[in-house]
Amino acid sequence: MDLHTDHTPAREWEHAMISGNGRQGLLFWGGPDAVRLTLSHERLFLPVTEPLPPPDTASILPELRRLLAGRRFAAAADRVCGHAASEEPGYADLRWVDPLIGAATITFTPRETRARGYARSTDFATGVVTQRWGGVVCAAFVSRADDVVAFRVTGTDGDLAIAPVDGVPERPVRTAVDNLSLVARFPGADRPGALPGYRVECRVSRDGDGLLLLARTVVDGASVPWPDGDFEQLLAAHVSVHGELYGRFRLELGGDRVETLVNACRYAAISASGELPPTLQGVWSGGYRPPWRSAYTLDGNLPAAVAGFAPTGTPELLEPVVRMAEARIPDMRVNARRLYGVDGLLAPVHQSTHALVNHFGPRWCQTFWTAGAAWLARLFVEFYEHTGDEAFRRERMVPFLAEAADFHLGFVTVEDGRARFAPSYSPENAPANTGSQACVDATMDVAAAGGLLRDLLRFAPDDPRVPRWRSLLEALPPYRIGPDGLLAEWVDPGLADAPGHRHASHLYPLWYGGDPAFDDPALRAAAARAIRARLAWWDGQEADEMAYGLAQLGIAAAHLGLVDEAYGTLTRLADRYFRPSLVPTHNRDAILNVDLAGAFPALVTSMLVRSRPGRVDLLPAPPSAWPRGTVSGLLARGPVRIARLSWTPAGMEAALTAPRPMRITVGLPDGSSAEVDLNSDTETHLNC
């Protein structure tokens, strides 16, 4: 279950096995003729596109709102682009963020190439990736303890060479190779904050028919001494860190493939989380032009990539998201001021080396997306609710939430007692009757703002801004049920639903702790119909991309207790979006991508536990395909640790603890509930 093996050599890096420590990444590919190690680094973004101030659309906001009120949605998007280009010629074309690039490929050409019994494997518990044939074993890992790639060969000698990654960069990269070192420079990268270049360092020792190579990519600072020890000693130090994180959670389903996929996903997500959170491709890049620049994409991808950390017992791996958000507060303030003339925080859809809103166009009118900081704030809350860290709540979470809310207090207009979001944006979808992604009153905007305001009223009840928060919360429009009975993606009744789409952002209220509005049976039924309508589209031939969108449908279904729908999304994902190496993809068998590495475990855990502070529901959506099982290390909001949860056709057993004394309600699979007192000293046992 922790060791996955297949027998097909990877002839390109997209099909590689992966290892990583969050900072350094390794793509391990090739075969008996040539074993290849493509190295990368979490901060290796090629400085291609100079960041610009966001366009000053605050000066034309009244005009934009008049266009939107007149239902001239495409004209509003075009006006933004025209105004931006007239201000700054750099906006004449779509501007992308800086891409995450590969550092170098080290090639080992063995003397023994007869591929008898070729196999390659990934050990999720240790992070070791292996290729073997005949008596040859090539093994590698990326050390969390020593920040190096370790590569050992036994059973043959051979030649080592280093070269830049394949492809043509978007701007000049000057490389120099000296033996097994590579130095790269980025001529003209003299803007503040731009990376001037990097280097790849190697040390090799040979011992008869074998060798040990240590390698690392350096993007900042001077070289540090190489670690002492042989391969096994270095591995032991690494496993003491990586293995502890990985080992906190265990799922047993009688050999069901889902067990292995959860392990593979957790391994990828943990390996991609370092000082920075995972990009679209995690910490891995094999070329110069990754899809979508391998950016941090906030309108779904990044939240999906980190969604599995907290429920599988590793909430501290959300810390890189928090740190990145805090570091980019100055940019988000600039966005709010220049785009809308208000205080507070406005997060971009795409970012890599900065968080200024530079990426938008007439179709992808992403200056209109205003829910990003509220979504980031939700991740702060997820960290707190799964750790109970009170210092974090006071000193970091509440200040971020409050400044995110400042934006909505300034941006949202209230007309006749009703809040209006104009402009608005439901990520990447367009109403069926307008054809433009520009819109007003997207359900996601209402939901994200509402969740943010409720959290502030809960966590900062004595703040002097409470009356303003409460006033805006009370003015938010109710969610709408469309004429087809579906939860509407736009609250505005003049905007028609378009359920044939990979995003389903109007289900945001069902992805985390829940929204009290969905205590209403009519809304729950409408959300269920919306999920089924999206699933019908996913079953069509045209639906092959953005795997995490399917996972989000499943999480929403599990929240509503829709067992068949939740399990249906799981089986679709398992069948479509994993390479033979079990590295997940963005599309069916295309584009290495780690969104699903977080979203798949999050979906599975959402079927096993549903939680909000004060209440934990056990087995809310268990499929009949899992008649018995055991899980250990689940973490619920509270925080509540579910040390063990086991079920059979005869019943369920659970053991719960909490870091501090608390009384919670536990919902049981038979529909009953129990009031339970928890503490950290003893496990509380439940049977049903």
Task: Give the integer Cα–Cα distance in Å for 38 and 285.
Answer: 8
pLDDT tens, position by position, 372-411 = 999 999 999 999 999 999 999 999 999 999 999 999 999 9
What is the phi-psi region of residue 619: left when phi exceeds 0, alpha when psi lies from -120 to 50, beta otherwise? left
> What is the C-alpha separation between 279 and 304, in angstroms, rounded?
11
pLDDT tens sequence across 116-175: 899 999 999 999 999 999 999 999 999 999 999 999 999 999 999 999 999 999 999 999
- For residue 674, the cross-strand partners are 666
Structure confidence at residue 381 (pLDDT): 98
**Where does the pLDDT of residue 215 fall: very low under 50, low under 70, confident under 90, or very high at 90 and above?**
very high
φ and ψ at residue 28, rounded to 5 degrees: -110, 110
Q: CA distances (Å), 266 to each of 75, 247, 320, 346, in order?
A: 44, 10, 16, 30
Which pLDDT score is estimated for 116? 84
- CA pair distance 219, 74, nearest whole angstrom: 43
The pLDDT of residue 643 is 97
Q: What CA–CA distance (Å, rounded) separates 283 from 25?
A: 5
Answer yes or no: are the C-beta atoms of 441 and 492 closer than 8 Å.
Answer: yes
Question: What 3-state DSSP class applies to 113?
Answer: coil
- The confidence score (pLDDT) of residue 208 equals 83
* Spatial CA neighbour of 591 closest among 349, 292, 262: 292
291 three-class SS: helix
pLDDT at 193: 87
How do residues 304-342 score in pLDDT, each as one tens digit?
Answer: 999 999 999 999 999 999 999 999 999 999 999 999 999
Q: Are 490 and 443 in contact (CB under 8 A)?
A: yes
Q: What value does the mean pLDDT take over residues 578-583?
A: 97
Q: What is the pLDDT of residue 548?
A: 97
Check residue 2 and give its pLDDT. Answer: 96
A 10 A CB-CB count for 519 gives 9
> Which pLDDT band, with edges at 50, 70 and 90, does 487 fall under?
very high
pLDDT tier, 603 (very low <50, low <70, confident <90, very high otherwise): very high
Q: Are 194 and 209 contacting, i.e. CB atoms less than 8 angstroms apart?
A: no
pLDDT in the model for residue 1: 82
Report the pLDDT averaged over residues 438-444: 98
Average pLDDT, the chain: 97
Contact 562, 531 (CB under 8 A): yes
Cis amide bond preceding 639, omega within 30 = yes
Any bridge partners for residue 251, and if so which? 631
pLDDT of 113 strictly over 80: no
Check residue 540 and give its pLDDT: 85
Q: What is the pLDDT of residue 222?
A: 80
- β-strand 136-142 against 24-31: which pairing, if any? unpaired
**Three-state DSSP string of 467-513:** HHHHHHHHHCCCCCECCCCCECCECCCCCCCCCCCCCCHHHHHHCCC
Weakest-pLDDT range from 106-115, 236-245, 272-281, 493-502: 106-115
User: Residue 85 corresponds to which tokens in the numbers above?
Assistant: 């280009």
Name the CA radius of gyration of the chain, rounded: 25
pLDDT at 231: 98
Q: Which domains does the chain have, with CATH numbers?
A: 3-47+97-250 (2.70.98.50), 618-687 (2.60.40.1180)
- H helix or E strand, kind and range, residue 406: helix 398-411
- Beta pairing, strands 615-618 & 662-667: parallel
pLDDT for 199 equals: 97
CB-based contact 442:424 (threshold 8 Å): yes
Indicate whether 115 pLDDT > 80: no
Q: Does 541 have pLDDT greater than 80?
A: no
- State how far the alpha carbon of 93 is from the alpha carbons of 85, 115, 188, 634, in Å: 8, 50, 21, 47
CB distance 586 to 634 below 8 Å? no
Does the structure show a pLDDT above 80 at 543?
Answer: no
Query: What's the confidence (pLDDT) of residue 258?
Result: 98
Q: Give one DSSP letter per residue of 503-554, joined into a string.
A: --GGGGGGSSS--GGGGSHHHHHHHHHHHHHHHHHHTSTT--S-HHHHHHHH
* Structure confidence at residue 681 (pLDDT): 80
For the chain, give percent helix, strand, coil, nearest 5.
35, 25, 40
What's the pLDDT score for residue 106? 98
Instruction: Give the DSSP H or E segment for 686.
Output: strand 684-687
DSSP 96: P
Compute the distance between CA of residue 635 and CA of residue 611 in angstroms, rounded to an integer: 9
pTM exceeds 0.95: yes
Per the rule left: phi > 0, alpha: psi between -120 and 50, beta: everything else, 435 is left
Instruction: Give the model's pLDDT for residue 290.
Output: 97
Asked, as a colleague might, if the bond just before 623 is cis with ω within 30 of 0, I would say no
Q: Which residues pair with residue 675 across a beta bridge?
A: 665
Q: Which of 484, 465, 582, 575 is nearest to 533 (CA)?
A: 484
Q: How far apart are the first and last CA of the chain?
A: 29
- For the chain, what's the residue count? 688
pLDDT for 221 beyond 90: no
Pairing of strands 149-154, 158-163: unpaired
CB distance 238 to 23 below 8 Å = no
Does residue 166 contact residue 287 with C-beta atoms inside 8 Å? yes
Is 112's pLDDT higher than 80? Answer: no
3-state secondary structure 322-378: HHHHHHCHHHHHHHHHHHHCCCCCCCCCEECCCCCCCCCCCCCCHHHCCCHHHHHHH
Number of neighbours of residue 674 by Cβ within 10 angstroms: 12
Who wins on pLDDT, 606 or 116? 606
Q: What is the pLDDT of residue 544?
A: 82
Q: How far is CA 545 from the centre of its chain?
A: 16
Q: Predicted confidence band at 186 (pLDDT cuts at 50, 70, 90)?
A: very high
Q: Which two tokens stand for residue 499?
A: 């359920």
